[in-house]
């Protein structure tokens, strides 16, 4: 059976991360707005802080940022910063990764066309998987 061109892709980078939700809560309580502004885009803050309990959502996005940085092989640093990616929801509530100019340049340098992400959280952990693909 032949795969649709919309489904077929080549994987160029894979990353995953898991974060303790209480760790995110403690850091936010200790550093407040400074932590939020340093790590999360306004888009992410608006979404997460609008939730009854924002910390599972913040933790999953924190994990996603780490996972995406691992895809690029850079980690979080000078080449790829905390706000180089913003995780947002699509029309069916599916997560998407929006890259800033610097991250988009890294993606193009790798020959990738997009970054796919999957987020999960339990009552204690936030988890994310990221995949750079070329379609």
CATH number at residue 15: 3.90.470.20
52 is catalytic: no
Rounded CA-CA distance 118/97 in Å is 10
Find the domain containing 67 and state its range. 10-134
21 in any annotated domain: yes
125 in any annotated domain: yes
| Count of the separate structural domains present in the chain | 1
Among the listed ranges 1-10, 22-31, 38-47, 104-113, which one has the minimum average pLDDT value? 1-10
5 in any annotated domain: no
80 in any annotated domain: yes
pLDDT of 30 over the 80 cut: yes
87 in any annotated domain: yes
> Given this model, what pLDDT does residue 9 score?
86
121 is catalytic: yes
Q: Give tens-digit pLDDT for 97-127.
A: 999 999 999 999 999 999 999 999 999 999 9
3 in any annotated domain: no
Q: Which of 6, 3, 4 is nearest to 114 (CA)?
A: 6
Out of 28, 37, 57, 70, pick the active-site residue.
70
For 125, half-sphere exposure in the C-beta direction (CA atoms, 13 angstrom radius) is 5
- Average pLDDT of 34-40? 98
124 in any annotated domain: yes
Out of 57, 65, 121, 127, pick the active-site residue.
121
> Given this model, what pLDDT does residue 4 score?
43
Query: Could you tell me the pLDDT band of residue 6, with boundaries at 50, 70 and 90?
Result: low
85 in any annotated domain: yes
pTM of the model: 0.92
């Amino acid at each position: 059976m032949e795969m649709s061109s919309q489904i077929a892709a080549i994987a160029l980078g894979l990353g995953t991360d898991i974060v303790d939700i209480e760790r995110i809560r403690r850091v936010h309580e200790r550093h407040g707005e400074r932590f939020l502004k340093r790590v999360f885009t306004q888009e992410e803050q608006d979404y997460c802080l609008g939730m009854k309990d924002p910390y599972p959502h913040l933790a999953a996005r924190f994990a996603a940022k780490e996972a995406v940085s691992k895809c690029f092989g850079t980690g979080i640093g000078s080449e790829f910063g905390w706000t180089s990616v913003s995780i947002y929801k699509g029309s069916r509530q599916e997560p998407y990764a929006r890259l800033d100019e610097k991250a988009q340049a890294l993606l193009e340098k790798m020959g990738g066309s997009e970054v796919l992400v999957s987020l999960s959280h339990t009552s204690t952990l936030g988890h994310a998987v990221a995949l750079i693909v070329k379609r």
